[in-house]
Amino acid sequence: MEGNHLGNLGLAYAALSEFRKAIEFYEQDLDIAREIGDKRMEGNQLGNLGSAYYTLGEPRKAIEYYEQHLVIAREIGDRRGEGNALGNLGSAYCTLGEIKKAQNYYQQRLEIAREIGDRRGEGNALWGLAIFHEKMDDLEKAIENAEEALKIFERIESPSASTMSDLISKWELRERHNGF
């Protein structure tokens, strides 16, 4: 019970963009999870720590936590957690400019999301793949992935829909400009 409260406090501080404070609570919750042997909670807190460090601009440190989360998710058969860890690894590697590695993680994320019916995860994986293709100068494929993600985001009424729509418009304009 105490661990849940600590984790929730971490999430609250993260929502307030106070990531250093969130990390303190995630670490306390992680210690409790390990002490009582709760692998799911341990994995969740490792993922939260990774996300906090990623947001603080420390993708390499985030990767360390995401990789630990991935190991635990696979160990306990948590497919949603596994997918989240893979997607987060994709984003971290993309930030580091390791685009091919990012693509591999996003592709694995997409497969799991489709397998378990995780529409939000599917949309996020397609978004990551769209970014990959844009960075590889394949705007046509980037737009195709982004449009597929947009359809999902609209269906699930995600706030990401407007961001995705804006990105598609930007890329279509760039593609038209490149055609001249």
Which amino acid makes up residue 7?
Answer: G
Reading the block at residue 43, the tokens are 């994995």
Q: What is the pLDDT of residue 65?
A: 98
In order of 5, 31, 142, 171, the CA distances from 175 in angstroms are: 49, 50, 11, 6
End residue of a domain, out of 109, 133, 151:
109
The CA distance from 175 to 163, in Å, is 18
| Separation CA 106–CA 131 (nearest Å) | 10
105 and 150 in a common domain: no
Each residue of 36-59: pLDDT tens digit?
Answer: 999 999 999 999 999 999 999 999
Domain extent for 142: 118-180
Residues 57 and 138 in one domain: no
* pLDDT for 179 beyond 70: no
The pLDDT value given to residue 4: 66
Altogether, the residues listed in the chain come to a count of: 180
Q: Answer yes or no: do 96 and 47 share one domain.
A: yes
Domain match, 15 and 87 both: yes
Note whether 68 and 3 are same-domain residues: yes
Same domain, 105 and 169: no
Query: Average pLDDT for residues 125-131, to the nearest whole number?
Result: 96
Flag whether pLDDT at 11 surpasses 90.
no
To the nearest 5 percent, what fractions of the chain are helix, strand and coil? 85, 0, 15
Structure confidence at residue 91 (pLDDT): 95
pLDDT given for residue 152 in this prediction: 97
User: What pLDDT, in 10s, does the model give residues 142-174?
Assistant: 999 999 999 999 999 999 999 999 999 999 998
Q: What's the structural domain count of the chain?
A: 2
Predicted local confidence at residue 5, as pLDDT: 75
